[in-house]
Every structure is written in structure tokens, then in C-alpha cells.
Amino acid sequence: MALDEFRAEVRAWLRDHLEGGFREVKGLGGPGREHEAFAERLAWERHMAAHGWTCVGWPEEYGGRGATLEQQVVFHEEYALADAPARVNHIGEQLLGPTLIAFGTEEQKQRFLPPVVAVRELWCQGYSEPDAGSDLAGVRTRAERDTGRGEWVVNGQKTWTSLAHESQWCFVLARTEPGSERHTGLSYLLVPMDQPGVVVRPIVQLTGTSEFNEVFFDDARTAASCVVGAPGDGWRTAMATLGFERGVSTLGQQVGFRRELAAIVALAERNGAIDDPLIRDRLVRAWIGLETICFNALRMLDGAAAGASGPEASIGKIYWATWHRALGELAMEVSGAAGMLTGSGPGAGPDGLDDRQRLFLFSRADTIYAGSNEIQRNIIAERVLGLPKEARGQAVRGRH
Ligand SMILES: Cc1cc2nc3c(=O)[nH]c(=O)nc-3n(C[C@H](O)[C@H](O)[C@H](O)COP(=O)(O)OP(=O)(O)OC[C@H]3O[C@@H](n4cnc5c(N)ncnc54)[C@H](O)[C@@H]3O)c2cc1C
């Protein structure tokens, strides 16, 4: 289907369906606001599923639409332009699904993909631990085989687990070979959250809300067949998921960024900040930066279409995260003294924060999650520029 035709179809569908009760969910959710109208947004997403508008980029045989990358970008653009609510099933659709399609057994695909398409089961990502964030190879959560019952038994702690409190399943990176080190001996396990061995504790964030959690596994169980890729080869699977997280899944967000920038420009025009030459300069630079993000995204599309992976995604991640964090700071500059007061600005929510304050606070996390800026720079240095690898593990610790 021609791209214009596809755009018209998406636009018309969203126009016709974000109506009635669903009109209420327009513009809700998003970073720092995941708690907003969660049940209503879930209902909206199930409605999308019933009309075949979830997982549009997945192959048709797994319930998707087989949309090309360009079509996926168009879909995300139209979605944001329609002011449709933030998606609740992002982790299942954009991270777990593509990973299973690439590495899962046929049995796993049949079991786990349909409930993602239908938004019947939500997923969370169990990578980070108190001592294993950037250095993911330091994972200590372990899993052992109980051959008698044909199950894995999982013990350990994860942290910063987004949406764990809403999720039915978690993909967990765990050490399954005792005595193994670093990237070896890890496995990628699919673990049900609704069982006595799993405890989820919310963590309160800078915005005052709780999008993520600590998750404790205490003799939690999952079936022997719930390992993706070969046991002990989980690193490869986990890295593929990170590639999906940094790559195509972020392509649609530029429209949201454009709206945020437009709102800041509008405020600057209203309150006179636009007359300050330094603010004008920063607004123009923000606009140029956004254009750069869009062009890099197109380059990434080309690379992804040609089967390339990795480095372009890191360049994209570092660029948009830094740009968006700076936009949050600019939003505060433009707000002036009013930015210091909560509960006063236009559109202030029940948390007392207005959109610009929430943007400022949450965007501090952009350069951390999905791989911090420093880690992206390491990837670019080593894998793009071919610079020598930095000292890791013992060598680094030994210096302290
Ligand atoms: C909003 C949000 C949502 C998240 N959601 C999830 C989730 O759903 N699931 C999940 O598993 N995780 C999640 N995370 C965790 C996230 O992936 C980690 O925070 C991130 O990987 C950084 O790890 P860390 O916090 O342990 O920091 P650390 O690794 O301790 O890093 C601290 C600082 O040191 C720097 N640093 C570390 N190592 C190096 C190095 N070798 N060279 C240079 N600098 C270095 C880092 O860049 C950083 O600035 C989330 C985080 C946030 C903020």
C-alpha cells in the first residue's frame, strides 16, 4: 500500500475511534504520567487490538500487519498527531515481541505473541539490579532447574522495573550456570508475575509518581520451556532486546517532541520570554536539534531496512536523550519564576505539576534509561570508531 494511502487510513481510523468514551483518554499517559487513567488506556488499547491496530510492524503470521518501517513511522506520527494516549503495552509490543519473533521457539511464539497482540498480557523488563545497571553482565539473580517439576526456580532482586505493578509477565536476565562470570552462563527467562514468589514494591520518582518498582524473586517458578534462546546464551538475546529498545521503537516519539517544543514556543510568545535573544537562540537551536533527530531517524530506518543494527541506534539514543533533557531545562527557563511554583501553571494535574514541570523532572531520566549517555559513548567509541576497549570488571575495580 502506498504510504499516503496508509497515512490516510490510520488518520481516519483514529479520528473515528478516539470518540465517545475514548475521547476522555486523549493526551493521557506518557513519561512521568504512566499512572494516568491506566484502566481506560488499557481499554483503548484493547479496542485498537480488536480493530487490528496493535503490533503493526510484526509479520502478519504473528498477528501484526507486516507494516514496513516507513509505515510504522507514519503510524506513530499519526498516533501522536491525533493526541492518542500513551501506549500501555509498549514493552510487550516493542521489546519482548520482536525478541521472541527473532529468537523464540515456535511453541513460545504461539503461546506468548497472541496475548501481546490482543493486549491481554502486559510485560515488564527484568534486567537492572542494585549492582547491575550499566554493567548488566554483573547480574546476580540466579535460576536453577528443578528437573523433578520441569521448572526454573528464580531467586534475586531486580530494580527500576517499569510497570511491574501492572504486568502479568517479566522477562528476566538470570545467572543459570553457577560459578559463571560476566556475559556467560546467563539465561533469558519468561517469568509469570502472579505467584507467591514475586513481590513488587513501588519506587517513588522525582515526579512524585511511581512508574517503576523493585521486584523480588523468592523461589519464584517458571516452566522449563520459558527460556528464550539456549540456556546460558541469554546475553545474546538480552542485547537484541536492547537494540529494539534503542532503535525503531523510539522513532515515533519525534511528533511528541514537536508538540512539546511548540507548547514551549507558544508560552514564550505569551509571557514575553521570546523577546530575550538568548531564549530565542535556544529555541532555534532546539528546533534545529529536532530536525537532526528526524534525519538521523531516517538514516537509522535505512540501516535497519538493510539489516544493520546497533551503532546508529546508540547515536540516536544519545542524541534524542540529550536534546530532550535540554528541552526540559529550556521549558523551565521559559516559564521563568512561575516554573518554581507547583499547582499553579496551566494544566496542572493532581500531582500539582504542569506539563513543563513534569517534562523537566522526567527528562532527567532520559539520559539514563535504555542505556546511559556514557554507555552509548562507549559503544560508539568501541564499535563505530574502533577505539580500544576500556578496562572493565576487575581491572576497573582494582584501581579504587
Ligand atoms: C525511568 C526509568 C525506567 C527504567 N525502566 C527499567 C526497566 O523497565 N527495566 C530495567 O531492567 N531497567 C530499567 N531502568 C534502569 C536503567 O536501565 C538503568 O538505570 C541504567 O541502565 C543505568 O544503570 P544504573 O542506574 O545501575 O547506573 P550505573 O550503572 O550505576 O551508572 C551510574 C553512572 O555511571 C556511569 N557509568 C557506569 N559504567 C560506566 C562505564 N563503564 N563508563 C562510563 N560511565 C559509566 C553511568 O553512565 C551513570 O552515569 C529504568 C531506569 C529509569 C531511569
The pTM score is 0.93
Whose alpha carbon is nearest atom 35 of ligand 1? 374
Q: What is the 3-state secondary structure (H, E, C) of the chain?
A: CCHHHHHHHHHHHHHHHCCHHHHHHCCCCCCCCCCCCHHHHHHHHHHHHHCCCCCCCCCHHHCCCCCCHHHHHHHHHHHHHCCCCCCCCHHHHHHHHHHHHHHCCHHHHHHHHHHHHCCCCCEEEECCECCECCCHHHCCCEEEEECCCCEEEEEEEECCCCCHHHCCEEEEEEECCCCCCCCCCEEEEEEECCCCCEEEEEECCCCCCCCEEEEEEEEEEEECCCEECCCCEHHHHHHHHHHHHHCHHHCCHHHHHHHHHHHHHHHHHHHCHHHCHHHHHHHHHHHHHHHHHHHHHHHHHHHHHCCCCCHHHHHHHHHHHHHHHHHHHHHHHHHHHHHHCCCCCCCCCCCCCCHHHHHHHHHCCCCCCCCCHHHHHHHHHHHHCCCCCCCCCHHHHCCC
| Closest-CA residue to 174 (of 160, 192, 154) | 154
Residue 245 annotated among the catalytic residues of the structure: yes
Q: What lines the ligand 1 site, CB under 6 Å? A: 124-128, 133-135, 160-162, 212, 365, 368-369, 371-372, 374-375, 378
Distance CA 27, CA 86 (A): 7
Query: What is the structure's pLDDT at 35?
Result: 83
Distance CA 341, CA 353 (A): 9
Query: What number of other Cβ atoms are within 10 A of residue 119's Cβ?
Result: 23
Closest ligand 1 atom number to CA of residue 131? 26
Closest ligand 1 atom number to CA of residue 125? 9
Query: What is the structure's pLDDT at 15?
Result: 97
Cα–ligand 1 centroid distance for 372 (angstroms): 6
Closest ligand 1 atom number to CA of residue 127? 11
Residue entry with cell 538480552: 238
Q: Between β-strands 151-158 and 142-146, what pairing exists: parallel, antiparallel or unpaired?
A: antiparallel
Cα–ligand 1 centroid distance for 237 (angstroms): 19
Cα–ligand 1 centroid distance for 18 (angstroms): 36
Best residue among 372, 374, 382, 396 to mutate for probing ligand 1's pocket (most ligand atoms within 8 Å of CB) is 372
Best residue among 96, 122, 134, 207 to mutate for probing ligand 1's pocket (most ligand atoms within 8 Å of CB) is 134
Is the Cβ–Cβ distance between 191 and 154 less than 8 Å?
Answer: yes
Task: Please identify which of the residues 78, 93, 245, 260 carries the catalytic annotation.
Answer: 245
Closest ligand 1 atom number to CA of residue 378? 42
Query: What is the structure's pLDDT at 395?
Result: 44
Cα–ligand 1 centroid distance for 245 (angstroms): 14
Residue entry with cell 510485560: 123
Whose alpha carbon is nearest atom 5 of ligand 1? 162
Distance CA 125, CA 169 (A): 9
Whose alpha carbon is nearest atom 44 of ligand 1? 374
pLDDT averaged per 10 residues in sequence order, the chain, 400 residues: 95 97 90 86 98 96 93 88 92 96 97 98 98 95 96 98 97 97 97 98 90 97 97 96 79 81 96 98 97 83 59 85 97 94 70 88 94 93 90 49
Whose alpha carbon is nearest atom 17 of ligand 1? 369
Looking at the DSSP assignment, which residues form a beta bridge with residue 198? 217
Query: What is the structure's pLDDT at 202?
Result: 96
Burial 66-78 (b: 16+ CB within 10 A, else e): ebbbebbbbbbbb
Closest ligand 1 atom number to CA of residue 164? 8
Closest ligand 1 atom number to CA of residue 136? 21
Is the Cβ–Cβ distance between 237 and 293 less than 8 Å?
Answer: no
Whose alpha carbon is nearest atom 11 of ligand 1? 127
Best residue among 122, 369, 373, 396 to mutate for probing ligand 1's pocket (most ligand atoms within 8 Å of CB) is 369
Cα–ligand 1 centroid distance for 222 (angstroms): 27
Cα–ligand 1 centroid distance for 374 (angstroms): 10
Is the Cβ–Cβ distance between 56 and 64 less than 8 Å?
Answer: yes
Cα–ligand 1 centroid distance for 371 (angstroms): 6
Whose alpha carbon is nearest atom 13 of ligand 1? 160
Cα–ligand 1 centroid distance for 72 (angstroms): 28
